[in-house]
Structure 1
Amino acid sequence: MKWFSSLGHLVLVLLAGALLGWYLGSAVAGALVAAVLMLLFSSYQAWLVEHWLRDSSQKLPDVHGHWADIVGHIYRQERHANTSIKQLQSTVDYLLDSFGAMRDGVVMLEDGDSIRWCNDAARKILGLRYPQDVGQAVTNLVRAPDFNAYIHAGEFREPLTFQVGGEHKVHLMLVATRFAEGDTLLFVRDISDRVNTERMRRDFVGNVSHELRTPLTVITGYLGTLLTDTSKLPPPYIRALEQMAGQAERMENLLKDLLWLTRIETTEREEKNEQVDIGSLLYELQDEMTNLHPDNPLQLQIDCSDRIQGDYRELYSAVSNLVINAYKYGRAGRPVLATWSREGDDYRLSVVDEGAGIDPLHIPRLTERFYRVDDSRSSATGGTGLGLAIVKHVAAAHAGRLEIKSTLGKGSTFTLVFPGRA
Structure 2
Amino acid sequence: MDTVPEARSEAAAETAPAADAAPTAPASVHPHLLFWVPALLRLSLVFVAAGVAWWLFGVVAGLSLALLVTVALLVVQLSYLHQLGEWLHHPHSSRLPDGWGAWTDVFARLYRLRRDDERHQEELAEWLARFRQAMQLLPEGVAIMDDVLFLEWCNPAAERHLGLTLDKDKGRRVTNLIRHPEFIDYIILGRYEQPLTLAIRNRKLVVQVIPFENRRQILVTHDATETERLEAMRRDFIANASHELRTPLTVIVGFLEIAMADPGMMEATRVAHLKLMTEQGQRMQRLIEDMLTLSRLESTEFPLKRERVDVRALVEQVAEDARALSGGRHEIEFSVEGPDVMGSLDELRSAFGNLATNAVRYTPEGGRILLSWTRGPNDLRFAVADTGIGIDEQHISRLTERFYRVDKSRSRETQGTGLGLAIVKHVLLRHGGKLTIRSEAGKGSVFTASLPNTSLPG
TM-score (structure 2 length as normaliser): 0.43
Answer with 1 or 2: which has the greater Rg.
2
TM-score w.r.t. length of structure 1? 0.47
